[in-house]
Structure formats: C-alpha cells, structure tokens
Amino acid sequence: MTGIRLTTLLALSASALTLAACGSAEVASPGEGDFGGTGGGGTTTPTLPPGTPAADCPTGFANVGLVAGGTLRACQLPQQINGALTVPLRAGTIYSISGRTSVGTDQGVDPAAPITGSVQGLLTIEAGVRIFASSGSDYLLVNRGSQLFAEGTPTSPIIFTSRQNVDGATTLDSQGQWGGIVLAGRAPQANCSVFPLVTPVTCTGTVEGTSAFYGGNTPTDNSGRLRYVQIKFSGFEISTGNELQGLTMAGVGSGTTVEFIQVHNSSDDGIEIFGGNVNLRRIVITGADDDGLDTDTGWRGGAQFGIVTQRAAGTTSRSAGFEFSSAPAATPLASRYVSRPFISNWTLVGRNAPIDAHTIAHFDTGTDATVINSVFTAATGSVAGCLAIADADTGTSGVTFTSVFMSCPVSYRTANVTLSTAAFTGGTNNLIGTSTLTAPAGATLTNQVLTFINGANETARPVVNAATVFPFFTTTTYIGAVQNAADTWYTGWTCGLAAGSNC
C-alpha cells in the first residue's frame, strides 16, 4: 500500500467467536523492561500417540473443542492479556485467538508516566507452538508498553496460521484468512498533524486497521523478541486503503528483536513498518498479494538479509518487493521527519507483471534510503520496472545505491526513468545485467518465482562492508540474501522453500 494513513477503528466482522473470559495476574509495576513471572503456563501434558488430542487446556485458556479432524485440542487465548501469560508447548494441543486479542492496554507516550489505569502485558510463546485464527477480525495486538516473546528455534518455529490451514483446506493461493500480528511501540514517527516537526517527535498515530495508538520519544523502546516465526495466510482489508498485514510494526523501537521471520501469502503487505527504529534480520516474504516490505511515517532502522518472492502470475494491481514511503507532504522537505531506512543483502524477485504500474523497488515521498549489497530482479517477460524513484522529493532527499545488481526486462519504471536512472547510476558499483539466480532444490511453492540463490553474475559483484554503513549490520562478502546453494539460512524454520516443507 502507499501513502500516509491516519486511521480509526472500523466495524470488524461479526463472525468472530465469543471468548470465554479468562484472567491472569497483573504486573505490579507498570513501565519499561523485564516483566518476570510465568503466569498461565500449566504443565506439559504426557506424551500422546500421534493424532490424539489433549484432554484439557492449560490454566488461563478456554477449551473451544477439537480441530484438525478431531486430532487437536483447541485452547483459546483470552482477548485481553494483563500481566504475564505463557503459551506452553503441549502434546495434542493447538491454540487460537478470537477477535482482537490485546496484550496489555495502551500505556501512552512516556514510559516514565504511563496512562493512569493502563495495564502492562507480557505474552510468551514457547518454541513449536501453533496458533490459529478463523476470520479477518481475528488478530494479535501488542500495545505500547507491553511485550511479546515468541521465540522458536531453527527446527521448532512458532507458527501463526488460519483455521482453514489447520483443517487442511488451504491451497497454494490461499490468503486473507485472518488478521495478523500488530506491534505498537513508543519510538518516534511522523504520523502527525502539525508541521514542521521538531525533535523530539512525540506525536501519536493510529495503527492502520486498528484503533491502537503508537509513537513517542523512545527510539530504543522494546516490544519483545520475535525469532523463528511463520505468519501464514493473513492480511485482511477492513475497508479500502485500511488493511491488516502479516506483521505490522508501528513505532517499534530498536530494543525489539525481529529476526528469522517468514510471512507467507498475506493478502496485503508481508511486513509494514510505520515509523520507529526497529531493526530486522533474516526475513522471508513469500506470496504477498501487495508489497513485500512496506515502510512509512518515518522508519529509521535497518534490515539485513531478506528474500521477497512474488507469485509467478501477474495481476492488474501494483505490487512491489519494496514500497518505501516517508512522511506526509510538507514544504520545505527539511521540515519533515523523513524515513531513513538502511537495507543490505536483500534479493527481490518479481512476478511476470503485465503492466508498467508494477515496480520491484519503489521509493517515494522524500524517503532517504541507503541500499547496499542487494539484487532486484523480475521474471522474464515482465513489463515492470526494477526501480522507481517516484517523486522529486525522494530524488532531492536522496536514495543511495551501492553494490546493487538489477536484472529486469525493464530497468526503470516508465513514469520515473529520469529520477531512477540518476539515483542508480549516481551510486557506486551498481550494475544492470543478466540474472543467474537459481531456485532451491525441492521447493514446494510451485506458484512462486523462487530464483533467489546467487549465481556467477551476482557473485562477481563488488561488495561494500555493511558493518561500516549501519551499526546493526554484519560484514558479508557477497551481495544478495543467499550466497550460494550451500547457504541455507532460510531452510528448516520456513515453509515451502525446501523439500517436504509444505505451507
């Protein structure tokens, strides 16, 4: 999606299941930092034969029956999580969310002075846990001042998915079957109504698709840790231009850990970032119907090692690997709190797009981006441009490209040739050439363009030391996300990218 949105909560689907009320202990001292406690965990059930559902649910969860043909006990999270709640890995058990499931309540802009009466929440999800939702109005929201700790492992990822997927009713093209995950934090952002902005930026915005607030003046704000997580078949259009994504991060600070995340078949964007200073590492976005990584309202963070693959067939809608927007229009440009993203080692693989409105990497509204060591490609026969610098403000603020390799039938989107050419050719060690990317062996996503492993032409490109460009980055000796066939960081915890790993 594009543009800057100030959204309010709209009426959500009445199809959400009614939640049985379940409480948990409140945290004694609201504010930032570690919460402590493991309330609501329960004990691990004994080993059960495969296909045998657990007899009950852990304390703090509602027993809502059996799913997956009667083979799993469905245990529903409370819609309001105050204090600490742990979602334990248990034999014969799967978990569900119904409606807007909130962790804590909004604690406001200032961590030292939380809103009177607000409460803090801490949700911990153990490795290997699966959680499903049943409709577009079902989503998980972590409010300002609260935290989510969803930490899987390379062999036991945490999986968020749809009821249809649990019941075996999804296909390669299924999407939009539940809302997604929303993190709201207290880091600065530009979704403000008063200009020029001044530092510190303390204005509050409303997260798209929700009534949740985000923003503040805490760049290092900590919303928790997400590691080795799959988010599948999510994204939902509440109304035109007002959507939930796979993963939405709004005002999320650099104290938050986000790495080894796959978003698969979101009906909107894979990941959208509104402002904040969060950093990302090892990201896989497959089959997003809109943009892969979408940024807006003043995001100032970094993202290293990322794969975006689009569906093979073209559509008449515009969809990009990157869609980077900045701040609301104001004059002069210097008065804006603009986005300053840093990108390293990403490979964007576009579909065979039948219309010029598609772009693999799109930058607009004054975005001041730095892109290094990356690869932009599109399928043979596409009329999409690899690159679009879409407005003079973005050209003025400057998108810097270093060691970027592009290989598309059309290098620059037709409407933006002059600005795009100047930005790309004005960089260092950039090249337009022929892709030699290859696909992983045995991948099961046959509807995807999966050529994201470096070949000879990508390997031959000069490399900039990423660690000298942005402190979060690590040094690499190659461009793109995947160095060669022996580099398998994306396997094991993802679905569809290796033999036997169906989504």
Nearest C-alpha neighbor of 150 from the set 264, 233, 260: 260
| pLDDT top residue among 41 and 193 | 193
pLDDT tens for each residue of 367-382: 999 999 999 999 888 8
What's the confidence (pLDDT) of residue 355?
83
Instruction: With respect to residue 280, please indicate whether it lies within any of the assigned structural domains.
Output: yes
Q: Work out how many domains the chain is built from and give that number.
A: 1
Domain extent for 251:
62-468
Backbone angles phi, psi at 334, to 5 degrees: -65, -15
The answer as to whether 500 is a domain residue is: no
Start-to-end CA span in the chain (Å):
25
Phi, psi of 440 (to 5 degrees): -70, 145
Which of 366, 350, 142 lies closest to 251 in space, CA to CA?
A: 142
User: pLDDT confidence of 444, banded at 50, 70, 90?
Assistant: very high
pLDDT (tens digit per residue) in 253-263: 999 999 999 99
What residue type is assigned to position 437 of the chain? L
Residue 497 lies in a domain: no
Alpha-carbon distances, residue 317 vs 323, 354, 356, 379 (angstroms): 14, 10, 10, 16
Length of the chain: 503
In 3D, which of 106, 111, 74 has the Cα closest to residue 9? Answer: 106
- With 80 as the cut, is the pLDDT of residue 24 above it? no
94-108 confidence digits (pLDDT tens): 999 999 999 999 999
Please indicate whether residue 395 or residue 2 has the higher confidence score (pLDDT): 395
pLDDT at 25: 31
Mean pLDDT of 206-214: 88
The reply to whether 10 falls in a domain is no
Average pLDDT, the chain: 88
441 is a domain residue = yes
Q: Flag whether 158 is in a domain.
A: yes
Structure tokens at 387: 């690159």
**In this model, does residue 44 exceed pLDDT 70?**
no
Residue 9: the pLDDT is: 31
- Indicate whether 49 belongs to any domain: no
Residue 252 to residue 223: CA distance in whole angstroms = 7
pLDDT at res. 201: 73
- Res 313 pLDDT > 90: no
Is residue 149 pLDDT above 60, yes or no?
A: yes
Q: Does any domain span residue 36?
A: no
- pLDDT score at 23: 35
Q: How many whole angstroms from its chain centre is CA 180?
A: 10
pLDDT at 349: 96
